[in-house]
Amino acid sequence: MKVAKFGGSSLASGGQLQKVINIIKADPKRKIVVVSAPGKRTKDDTKVTDLLIKYCNTVINNEDPTGIQSKIIQRYRAIGEHFNLPEGELQPIITGIEQLATQVFPSRAYQMAAFKAAGENNNAKLVAAVFNHQGIPAQYMNPKDIGLMVTDVPNDAQILDFSYKQLAGLSEYTKTLVIPGFFGYNQAGEVCTFSRGGSDITGAIVAKAVAAEEYENFTDVDAIYAANPNIIPNPRKITHLTFQEMRELSYAGFSVFHDEALIPAIEGKVPVVVKNTNHPDLPGTLISETKPIDQKNIVSGIASDSGFTGIYLRKYLMNKQVGFTLKLLQILADFGVSYEHMPSGIDDLTIIIRSRELTPDLEAKIQSRIESEIHPDDFQITHNYAMVMIVGEGIQDRIGTMAAATASIAAANVSIVMLNHGASPVSITIGIRDSDADQAVKSLYDTFINHKPVHLMDGIL
């Protein structure tokens, strides 16, 4: 059995849904389909999820919602009409969208979660109806009915472990099952959504639960690329990644998957294949637990992400103080701030944080606590850092990788502010200024993907 997840671009219109129908018919093993809400049909279009967020805010502000309701309903109606779906089968979707405006919720957070989840939920109902009309015996499955239970966090939920046993029963159905992605239910029966990339998370959860032989993630790209196509024109397609490589690349800015999205598949050791709905016969990118290491192409991908802040402090004899780091991290924990990296020396330490974790007021409070409790000899907070990550199985054991990386950065006339090598066996993380990120990626791509020699001022590496 295979689990196939289709993203918003794959379901944006009737024409796109026809491609999905052809894909499902082409392989009888595709018995479980996880769907996103309809995405953009054109560059200037609006995703249904964004329309639902606007709808929710309209209701919260006690404004007339009929206009935004009509826009949302029309998106589903247009897809149904493409397949001549009877009005009677569209009516439950229309009614559900309209009734959102009068429902009562425990809080604004639950209200927003329910509105957003309506995009996937109604699309699953629509897709199941269209499948049946197109000769694919299908059944819509509500997450509550199949036991997809999550933590009580309205817009950032996590799967509850006992759900997997309940979801395992999905493998016993003979019809093609259509499941809405992005959300589950807490134990009080309220809708709670997953974080960004939530439909990918649902797909991975279901794939793990039914022990799928493969989890196919259909999107609008032919494969995962070795670098961001907005930085590198026509980058190399990656044919095979390990789970660990994909996790590192996702964390560092690759947009195909949120860095949390694959965890259930990783835990279940379910191979993932990223494929293009528009070109389904292409091989795509396989992501699995292990892969053969290509010694000639040791680096799989290069990614960068901006929006980091560095908290630097110097404390002489820091290395002699038992519990020093614990005290520092406890201060951050007290303010609800998590950290990303923490390179250190005998007297110096830098904590790298996502800038979105901080506000000017919070930053001042953290500084005050550190200065009063730790008494650093030097203290600085620096904004506008970017992290560039070089990822590949085996790079830790490849002699000269770090030398080539730093030389490549130097050749690009970029200053390094942080290095992290050895914490992960498959990646090197280089901290630089935001403004230098694209130039660094271009230089590293030439060095490790195009295998061009590095030209330094005093020669060639």
* Region class of 178: left (phi > 0), else alpha (psi between -120 and 50), else beta: beta
Helix ranges, 134-153 (H) = 143-146
Instruction: Give the DSSP H or E segment for 291.
Output: none
Q: Is 49 annotated as a binding residue?
A: yes
Measured between alpha carbons, how far is 208 from 65 in angstroms, rounded to an integer? 40
Q: Beta-carbon neighbour count of residue 287 at 10 Å? A: 28
Rounded to a whole number of angstroms, the CA Rg of the chain reads 24
Q: Is 7 annotated as a binding residue?
A: yes
Measured between alpha carbons, how far is 10 from 36 in angstroms, rounded to an integer? 9
Instruction: Please report where in the chains the tokens 């039914």 appear, as a residue.
Output: 210
Sign, CA dihedral 79-203-256-161, equals positive
Measured between alpha carbons, how far is 251 from 195 in angstroms, rounded to an integer? 14
Instruction: Give the DSSP H or E segment for 345.
Output: none
* Region class of 264: left (phi > 0), else alpha (psi between -120 and 50), else beta: alpha
Closest CA to 6 of 50, 44, 38: 38
Measured between alpha carbons, how far is 400 from 298 in angstroms, rounded to an integer? 12
Measured between alpha carbons, how far is 210 from 268 in angstroms, rounded to an integer? 9
Q: Is 8 annotated as a binding residue?
A: yes
Measured between alpha carbons, how far is 415 from 435 in angstroms, rounded to an integer? 11
Measured between alpha carbons, how far is 453 from 439 in angstroms, rounded to an integer? 16
Q: Is 46 annotated as a binding residue?
A: no
Q: Is 309 annotated as a binding residue?
A: no
Residue set of the binding site: 5-8, 49, 120, 219-220, 225
Residue set of the binding site for substrate: 49, 120
Residue set of the binding site for ATP: 5-8, 219-220, 225
